[in-house]
Amino acid sequence: MDDIYFMKEALKLAESSLMRGDEPFGAVLVKDGAIVFRGENKINTESDPTYHAETGLIRDFIKETKITDLSEYTLYTTCEPCFMCAGTMVWAKLGRLIYGASNDDLRNIRGKKGFPCSKTVFENSSHSPVVTAGVLREECVNILKNYFSKR
Ligand SMILES: [Zn+2]
């Protein structure tokens, strides 16, 4: 139940990214049942191709709070993290990751080569968050479909 609520919040951020002219990806960071930080894709508005929702969120949260160990935090993201974002999660020792659409979903939508990015990174790293996949997958896939099908 909580997972659905938090993923809906991440979806709102994905919508917000899209409205601003960025790509439709959103993420929220949760601790003790409450959202402590929100992240949106800002690759265009920040002119930063690395400003993905998840990496941006983790960087901004750590910069603001000086908390560098996220082992007691859960991150919800609308799409399975890429190699970079999964790597960021490793270095920040994220406790739990929950995502909606998978890399396979994204690959099918974009018709490009894809890869099970987060799985590959986590399986080959010294730290891995506990992962739950497919929460509100259909909603998360739809927002990506709507965006990438027009490109
Ligand atoms: Zn990423």
Q: Residue 150: what pLDDT?
A: 79
Tokens representing residue 107 in the block: 């690959």
Q: State the average pLDDT for the chain.
A: 95
Query: Which residue shows structure tokens 């938090």?
Result: 6
Query: Which tens digits make up the pLDDT trace of 56-75?
Result: 999 999 999 999 999 999 99
Query: What DSSP letter does each residue of the chain carry, written as one string?
Result: -HHHHHHHHHHHHHHHHHHHTS-S-EEEEEETTEEEEEEE--TTTTT-TT--HHHHHHHHHHHHH-----TT-EEEEEE---HHHHHHHHHTT-SEEEEEE-HHHHHHHHTS----HHHHHHHTSS---EEEE-TTHHHHHHHHHHHHTT-
CA angle 28, 32, 35 (to 5 degrees): 25
Query: Catalytic residues, which ones?
Result: 54
CA of 41 to the centre of ligand 1 (A): 9
CA of 111 to the centre of ligand 1 (A): 18
Instruction: Please give the residue that has the higher pLDDT: either 116 or 6.
Output: 6
CA of 137 to the centre of ligand 1 (A): 17
Instruction: Please give the residue that has the higher pLDDT: either 89 or 116.
Output: 89
Q: Residue 1: what pLDDT?
A: 59
Residue range 1-15: mean pLDDT, rounded: 95
Give the whole-angstrom CA distance, residue 3 versus residue 93: 20
Residue range 76-82: mean pLDDT, rounded: 97
Q: Residue 139: what pLDDT?
A: 98
Tokens representing residue 118 in the block: 């987060």
pLDDT at 91 over 90: yes
CA of 122 to the centre of ligand 1 (A): 14
CA of 84 to the centre of ligand 1 (A): 5
Residue range 72-89: mean pLDDT, rounded: 97
Give the whole-angstrom CA distance, residue 57 versus residue 94: 12
Single out the residue of 77, 79, 116, 69 nearest to residue 97, CA to CA. 77
pLDDT at 17 over 70: yes
CA of 144 to the centre of ligand 1 (A): 14
Give the whole-angstrom CA distance, residue 109 versus residue 144: 8
Specify the pTM: 0.96
